[in-house]
Amino acid sequence: MSAFQIVFLLIALLTLFSALMVVFARKTIHSAFWLILALFGVAATFATLAASFFVVIQVAVYIGAIAILIIFTVMLTRRSMEESGDQLLPGWGWAALVVLIVFGGLVFMLLQWQGIFQPPQVLTAGGENLENLGMALVMPDRYVIPFEVASVLLVAAMIGAIYVAGDHKKRS
């Protein structure tokens, strides 16, 4: 086993363990902190694949913005959220069954693929070409419509959030 594989296994274990702790932690705020560690593990996995842009996105967007948003939400609702009580929902057996079926299906699908037993292809210096991605996003014959629609979607999300969270009594 090479050093690279050991590093990968450590990262995978860290990610899976923190993902489990997100579910099993008693306090919601602890779950949020474990979630940050799990997202960080995914970022490290991207790093082992030499996908730098995805590492930056993972850290900046998922850890920097979404995890903070979740922590703010926990802090907002902490008073009304019950932290005691049973952690198992009544229908957990069915959920476990569905999870097992989906997991088995994914493993089966991945085993069909030839590349599963081969080491990941190492990208050359220009392999992860951000310039190509940038060109593709704005060229008229490529993805310019999804690019602009993404902007509209972001504006819609922002307006919706401000409308929902805004103080309606004050202005009416």
Partner 1 sequence: MLTAWLYVGIFLVVAVLLPAVAIALAGILAPKKSNPIKTSVYECGIEVVGPARVQIKAQYYIYAMVFLVFDVEMVLLFPWAVAFKQLPLFAVFEGILFLLILLGGLFYAWRKGALEWF
State in angstroms the smallest separation of the CB of 45 from partner 1.
11
Which residues have C-beta within 8 Å of that of residue 26, sequence separation ≥ 6? 83, 87
Q: What is the DSSP letter of 80?
A: T
Q: Indicate the residue among 16 and 154 with the shorter CB distance to partner 1.
A: 154
Residues in contact with partner 1 by CB under 8 A are 4, 7, 44, 47-48, 50, 52-53, 56-57, 60-61, 64-66, 68-69, 72-73, 75-76, 78-79, 122-123, 125, 130-135, 137-140, 144, 147-148, 150-152, 154-155, 157-159, 161-163, 165-167
Q: Indicate the residue among 10 and 100 with the shorter CB distance to partner 1.
A: 10
State in angstroms the smallest separation of the CB of 53 from partner 1.
8
Q: Of 119, 130, 123, whose CA–CA distance to 57 is shortest?
A: 130
For residues 94 and 86, the answer to whether their CB atoms sit within 8 Å is no
State in angstroms the smallest separation of the CB of 113 from partner 1.
23
Per DSSP, the residues of 27-60 read SHHHHHHHHHHHHHHHHHHHHHTT-HHHHHHIII
State in angstroms the smallest separation of the CB of 65 from partner 1.
4
Q: Which tokens go with 40? A: 């960080």
Q: Indicate the residue among 102 and 139 with the shorter CB distance to partner 1.
A: 139
CA-CA distance, 50 to 47, in Å (whole number)?
A: 5
Q: Indicate the residue among 80 and 118 with the shorter CB distance to partner 1.
A: 80
